[in-house]
Amino acid sequence: MLSRVANSLYWMSRYIERADNVARILDVNLQLLLDYRRLDDEHLARHWTPIVQSTGDEEDFFEMYEEANGRTVTEYFVFQRKNPNSIISSIAQARENARMVRDQITIEMWEEINRIHLLVRSERAHDIWDSSPAEFFHEIRASSCDLQGLIDSTIPRNEGWYFLQAGKYIERADKTTRILDLRHESLPEKGVPILVNQTDALEWSAVLRSCSAWDAYRHIHGVDVGPRRVSQLLLLSPEFPRSVRFCVGELDSVLRALSGVPPGRFSNDAEKRSGRLLSELQFSEIGDIFERGLHGYLDDLQLRLNDVGEALFSIYIYHPFHEGFSDQQQQQQQQTV
């Protein structure tokens, strides 16, 4: 497979996943506010600012808007074309990458990406948004589900598939860490808070819902929602498909499928890093993580996920580009003869 094609498939997949995650975070948080009666500006800002921080866009955001509230944050993350992580930009990037590999993906996929791209840029998108943001987010998430389903049911399990999976799981793991980090200001720097008040419980429920983890949580842990168990589920669960451990596990098998190297060994940096990260997640307890401090731990996780991604790129995508151009020189010499 062409390296450029692998690159496009990887990013297309990441951007589809990203749009889905951003839609979920915003949807859940808009709904959450309906549960609070009186909120002054300060509280609102305290609610919305972490969402801006979570994607690392704080500086950019405050250049465009004076304060973080429901209107500005949603605008920034939905329709703002200047924000590269907004829904409209993510979909445009997914589509741009899809266009580059139009010959590699199925017509069904292309049509769906194209449809949602045209929709979010249309007047109708704003009409839907004005009448019901929830419906708008539903549309985005449904499209994302559609695309995931189409990838699953129409793409052959060859190299291209592995790059699609790698993009999806790196993005998903990264977003899970960022969603989990949303409430870090309510936590002590180290250790687990003993008492959880009702507002906190609601906020942690929102974290779960942002990861579509609410139902899974109740099955496993019941109705009491607190930071320890939420983190346990979202970081260390071997079963829940959006947990970091699960995603890294999938990522690790994708890398092994690409190289043909069995688990427990490695043939390149990407496998080494993902294998190490996976064993650490497998052999960690949530208590250890809180002892160390959740926020710092999550920061570190994000860096390490990036490292796996970078290694993947240097092996499969950039490596042939490092080779020399001896021919070019030789030929230039011929030209002057």
Partner 1 sequence: MLLNNYASEQFFDEMVTGESSVRNHYQRFVDRFGMVDMEEFEAKRRAVDLAFLRQGITFNVYGDSQGTERIFPFDLIPRIIPAHEWEHLERGLEQRITALNLFLHDVYHEQRIMKDGVVPPFYVLSAKHFRREFVNFQVPKDIYVHICGTDLIRDKDGTYMVLEDNCRSPSGVSYVLENRRAMKRSFPGIFESVGVRPVDSYSTDLLKTMQYLAPAGVTDPTVVLLTPGAYNSAYFEHTYLARQMGIEIVEGRDLVVKEAHVYMRTTRGLEPVHVIYRRVDDDFLDPTVFRKDSVLGVPGLINAYREGNVSLANSIGTGVADDKVVYYFLPRIIKYYLDQEPILPNVPTYLASEDADKKYILEHLSELVVKAANESGGYGMLMGPMASKEEVEKFRPLIEADPRNYIAQPMISLSRHPTWCEEAGFEGRHVDLRPFILYGERTTIVPGGLTRVALTKGSLVVNSSQGGGSKDTWVLYD
- Residues that bind partner 1 in the complex, under the rule CB under 8 A: 1-6, 96, 99-100, 102-103, 107, 110-111, 114-115, 118, 159, 258, 316-317, 319-321, 323, 325-328, 331-332, 334-335
Minimum distance of partner 1 from residue 320's CB (angstroms): 4
Identify which of residues 101 and 211 has a Cβ nearer to partner 1 in the complex: 101
For partner 1, give the closer residue by CB, 98 or 277.
Answer: 98
CA–CA separation, 214 and 176 (whole Å): 14
State in angstroms the smallest separation of the CB of 147 from partner 1.
14
301-316 b/e (C-beta count within 10 Å ≥ 16 → b): beebbebbbebbbebb
- The least distance separating partner 1 from the CB of residue 123, rounded to whole angstroms, comes to 15
- What's the longest Cα–Cα distance across the chain? 84
Complex with partner 1: residue 68 or 105, whichever CB lies closer: 105
Determine the 3-state secondary structure of 55 from DSSP. coil
Are the C-beta atoms of 88 and 22 separated by less than 8 Å?
A: no
DSSP 8-state assignment for residue 104: T
The CA distances from residue 290 to 15, 214, 230, 242, 298, in Å, are 31, 22, 12, 20, 11
Report the alpha-carbon distance of residue 257 to residue 132 in Å, rounded: 43
Residue 275 has a CB neighbour count (10 Å cut-off) of 20
Decide whether 22 or 312 has the Cβ nearer to partner 1: 312
Which one, 45 or 100, has the nearer CB to partner 1?
Answer: 100
CB of 160 to partner 1, least distance (A): 10
- Tokens 């890294």 belong to 248
CB atoms within 10 A of CB 59: 8
Compute the least distance from the CB of residue 189 to partner 1, in Å: 43
Q: Minimum CB separation from partner 1 for residue 63, in Å?
A: 23
Closer Cβ to partner 1, 162 or 204, answer by number: 162
